Structure 1
Amino acid sequence: MVERERGDEGEAKGLSGEPLQPPEGAEVPAKAAAAEGERDERERGREGEERDGDGKAEEGEWSEIRLAIEELSPAAPLRPGGGGGGDGKPAASSPPTLRFLALAHLLLRVLDKIGPTMAVLRLDVQRNIERLQELYLLDPSKYATLTEIVEKEVKEGTARKVDSCARAVLWLTRSMDFTIALLQRLEGGSDQPSLAQLTEAAYTATLKPWHGWIASAAYKIAMKLIPERKIFIGMLVAGMDHDSSALKEEIEKLASLLQPLLDDIHAMMAKFRLDRLKST
């Protein structure tokens, strides 16, 4: 979660969820622009290719979960130039920035499905994406991995500041921890706890330990407005022919692919002694 100084409360940005632009006046490198354009075109193609004339989703539409699985596929390049170790595997301490940003954007879409009650978390996620993306676009080669970004700020002595990219990486990772914890708790029949109860459990296990009383109070209010569990699940199974068993399988697959990345990021943050930072 983004930490704010007292005078920063009124500077909330729009919640459109549209692809973010680089800072005003900054030149977007051709490689970065091409990569972003290719990714956007790919997602638009998947989401739109199976829609009928009324705009309704048909079987084969790509859900956020499927898009995240595709993004995490071992066949996909982890960084520009296919970096990694000599054995073809990526270095555990160097999570790729572009992939991380793509997953963060998908996280926003999952939060949108929960509804306006997640506005607090959604705003923080979007602010953190903006901050990290702006730096990445300045030099995609230099900031190809999250390690390079965090290490830069550690050397400059700015990593612990409230507006640092290091904190953005930390809170985006914690937000992904929350999301995967929530999705994994959705398994089970209709007699399972409500979505509000599942969300509270996921929040308690992931974000709550790092929140101060202000952030905790905001989430306590938000939990009272969570939609029904079956409505949320219905939106998640788009593209799975409304098959709850398929949803369970894909959540398990996503968790198996995403957890190693999250573990690598947490390990990296611990290496720089930034893993225990809290909000107000």
Structure 2
Amino acid sequence: MVTPLIVSNIYSQSRDKTRRGGRRESERNEAEKSTEIRSSSEISSAIEELSVLVLVKPGDNHEAALIPTKPFLSLCYLVLQVLDKIGPTMTVLRQDVQQNIKRLEMVLESNSSLSSNLVEILKTETREGNAKKGASCSKAFVWLTRSLDFASALLLTLSRDSGINMEEAVQEAYNITLKPWHGWISSAAFRVALKLVPDSKSFIDLLKANDESYDTQTEKIKILVSLLAPFLEGIHCILKAYDLNNLKAA
């Protein structure tokens, strides 16, 4: 006869195995995801992420706009990997991006139903008067958008002239996207590190998947930029509607 204790032990062992199996499966999924990103390149993966993000067009009702939080953060995560390839110049920016991603991830994990749409987060924090205060999610969203602006501007320049001086390309992208909002300390740190960027061809080579040609990767960069531009334009319309477009670094 099977006693309640034996049943309990069997259940506990089964539950432990399930948990261990779940952890192993999760680890495998993460490993497979990393491998998939490496094999398809960050640019290809970013194109895929943009395909599932809702495009917010200028003039649309910002109150009814939808920007899914999880896909947006996945896109920002891919930008992190692009910044890594630029080198030490992007260390400070990379850290900011990572911190802002984590801030929004924590909110999403704590209340996924209410935080699944970034526009709802902006509405809630604006209504409560917290959007511009402290380490708000709204401010995290603003700076992540600006990091995407920087990546988009840099890739646009490279797509137009892949032989351009990389230092000049990075400086130009920084000047038009991030410098207006940075304090003098951040700007000075950026100037010092700028000498460490790779040349443009080496940078594009680093972005390629193993089986991609240089020309194929350049074409994909053009596709990504063509998708990013209207998407970011829509986001800036929303930020302006909530009076968040002119936030500067503290």
**TM-score, length of structure 1 as denominator length:** 0.71
Q: Deviations over 1:120-174 (max 9, x none)?
A: 1001101111111111111111111110111111111111013111010000000
Partner residue of 1:44 out of 13, 34, 39: 34
Could you say which residue in structure 1 is the equivalent of 2:209?
A: 238
Q: CA deviation at 1:41?
A: 6.3
Partner residue of 1:206 out of 169, 177, 202: 177
Which 4+ runs in 1 deviate beyond 3 A?
A: 36-42
The residue type paired with residue 45 of structure 2 is L
After TM superposition, the structure 1 = structure 2 runs for residues 25-174 of structure 1, keeping only pairs within 5 Å, are: 40=30, 43-44=33-34, 46-47=36-37, 61-73=39-51, 76=52, 93-174=65-146
Structure with a larger share of its residues in helix: 2
Give the distance between the partners of 2:151 and 2:32, measured in 1 at CA: 23
C-alpha contact (below 8 Å) 1:95/1:261 kept by paired residues: no
User: Which sections of structure 2, spanning at least 5 residues, go unmatched?
Assistant: 1-25, 57-62
Q: Which moved more, 1:193-202 or 1:251-260?
A: 251-260
Could you say which residue in structure 2 is the equivalent of 1:29?
A: none
Q: Deviations over 1:173-205 (max 9, x none)?
A: 000010011111113567x33211110011111
Give the distance between the partners of 1:143 and 1:38, measured in 2 at CA: 27
Give the distance between the partners of 1:96 and 1:39, measured in 2 at CA: 22
Higher Cα Rg, which structure = 2
Could you say which residue in structure 2 is the equivalent of 1:20?
A: none
Over the aligned positions, Cα root-mean-square deviation in angstroms equals 2.6
The residue type paired with residue 202 of structure 1 is A
Could you say which residue in structure 2 is the equivalent of 1:175?
A: 147
Identity %: 44
Q: In structure 2, do the counterparts of structure 1 residues 64 and 92 end up closer, same or farther at CA, with 3 Å as the change threshold? A: farther
Q: In structure 2, do the counterparts of structure 1 residues 270 and 116 end up closer, same or farther at CA, with 3 Å as the change threshold? A: same
Give the distance between the partners of 2:69 and 2:217, measured in 1 at CA: 27
Give the distance between the partners of 2:101 and 2:88, measured in 1 at CA: 19
C-alpha contact (below 8 Å) 1:131/1:168 kept by paired residues: yes
C-alpha contact (below 8 Å) 2:53/2:71 kept by paired residues: no
Q: CA deviation at 1:268?
A: 1.0
Give the distance between the partners of 2:206 and 2:98, measured in 1 at CA: 21
Q: CA deviation at 1:119?
A: 0.4
**TM-score, length of structure 2 as denominator length:** 0.79
Q: In structure 2, do the counterparts of structure 1 residues 269 and 97 end up closer, same or farther at CA, with 3 Å as the change threshold? A: same
Q: CA deviation at 1:37?
A: 8.4
